[in-house]
Structures are given as structure tokens and as C-alpha cells.
């Protein structure tokens, strides 16, 4: 009994600066390995997706959050539980579309971009694009297809960092043939 409760609260923390600089080293390396920013953006999204696919399990195990009933609830859980748990920040959820299928996450601070300044020859680089991949990958594992992209970024001189998330569809679970 006590063991179980330990496991959910046992969310070890570490210095965010090591995390920030490590991410920086990765982006720097990608910029060296790829010809242009678009390729780097794509690679970051792909790596984020891989992380998201694995992260969702860790998240569900630690957070003991149940199934979300609608997209609004999903948005709240992402902002208030997931971001808080992994990055130590709580973005605000705003700008809902009238249909309720699209919203924005506003990040007041973004640990990924601490110490970062974009050089002029990388003005199409979406530095934190990894986050989009993480969100897309994690939600796909709970049967939600979403479109995630950055619309504002403090690195490019915007006042805030804004991630736009659009619900596309619910993914039907494909049971393997012969499985009930």
C-alpha cells in the first residue's frame, strides 16, 4: 500500500539548467548535421514524438489522472498537470475556438530557451519544436490526433510563447485481427 503511493509521488527533480543546456547542445548538433532550418524543425518534431509516445505512460502512472471527457479537460490536464510535472511551469489555456476544438497554451517562461538567443542565419528555426512533437505523440497514444504548432515565440521577439493545439479526430482503436 505505502509502496504504491510512494511510486506516484516519487517524481525526482533535477537542475533545470542542465536540462536546458543539454537541449541546447542537441539543437546545436542538429543545426550542424542538417542543411536547413526546416529539416532541423522536422527532426525536432520527430524526436519529440518519440518522447511523447513513451512519456504518456510515465505520465499516467505518476499523475493518476483518469480519462478526459472532453477536449477542454484535456487542455487543463496538459497545462496544469503535465507541464507542471515535467517542466515545472504552468502555461495558461486561452483563445478557444468557438467550436471548442482548438486552443492556445501561453507559456510565460519556457525552460528550453533559457540562455538562448537565435542567430540571424537561423530565423526560420523553431527552437522548441520538440514540445509540439511530445504533445502530438503523447495524445496519439490516448487516441487523439492533434495538430500542434508554435504561433508565437519569445525567441523571435514575440511577447509570449504560444502553442496552438487543434483537435483533428479521435483515433479508433484497431484491435489485432482475431482479438476480442
Partner 1 sequence: MMDIRFTKGKSLVLERSLSRPRTEVSLSAFALLFSEMVQYCQSRVYSVSELQARLADMGRTVGASMLDLLVLREKNGKRETKVLNILLFIKVSVWKSLFGKEADKLEQANDDDKTYYIIEKEPLVNTFISVPKENSTLNCAAFTAGMVEAILTHSGFPAKVTAHWHKGTTLMIKFDEAVIARDKQLDGR
| Footprint of partner 1 (CB under 8 A) | 11-19, 21-26, 28-29, 33, 43, 47, 50-51, 54-55, 58, 62, 85-88, 111, 115-120, 130, 154-155, 157
Closer residue to partner 1, CB minimum distance, 55 or 78: 55
Q: Considering the complex, what minimum distance in angstroms separates the CB of residue 134 from partner 1?
A: 8
Bridging pattern class, strands 161-170 and 102-107 = antiparallel
Cell triple for 56: 504518456
Closer residue to partner 1, CB minimum distance, 98 or 157: 157
Alpha-carbon distance of 75 to 82, in angstroms, equals 10
Decide if 164 contacts 102 (C-beta within 8 A): yes
Closer residue to partner 1, CB minimum distance, 71 or 139: 139
Decide if 122 contacts 37 (C-beta within 8 A): yes
Residue carrying the nine cell digits 528555426? 125
Amino acid at each position: 500500500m505505502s509502496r504504491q503511493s510512494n511510486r506516484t509521488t516519487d517524481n525526482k527533480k533535477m537542475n533545470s539548467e542542465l536540462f536546458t543546456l543539454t537541449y541546447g547542445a542537441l539543437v546545436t548538433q542538429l543545426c550542424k548535421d542538417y542543411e536547413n532550418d526546416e529539416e532541423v524543425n522536422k527532426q525536432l518534431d520527430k524526436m519529440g514524438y518519440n518522447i511523447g509516445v513513451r512519456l504518456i505512460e510515465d505520465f499516467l502512472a505518476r499523475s493518476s489522472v483518469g480519462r478526459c471527457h472532453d477536449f477542454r479537460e484535456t487542455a487543463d490536464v496538459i497545462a496544469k498537470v503535465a507541464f507542471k510535472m515535467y517542466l515545472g511551469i504552468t502555461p495558461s489555456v486561452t483563445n478557444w475556438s468557438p467550436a471548442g476544438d482548438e486552443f492556445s497554451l501561453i507559456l510565460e517562461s519556457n525552460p528550453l530557451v533559457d540562455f538562448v538567443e537565435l542567430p540571424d542565419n537561423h530565423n526560420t528555426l523553431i527552437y522548441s519544436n520538440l514540445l509540439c512533437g511530445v504533445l502530438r505523440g503523447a495524445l496519439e497514444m490516448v487516441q487523439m490526433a492533434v495538430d500542434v504548432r508554435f504561433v508565437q515565440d519569445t525567441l523571435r521577439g514575440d511577447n509570449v510563447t504560444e502553442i496552438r493545439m487543434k483537435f483533428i479526430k479521435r483515433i479508433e482503436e484497431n484491435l489485432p485481427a482475431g482479438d476480442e
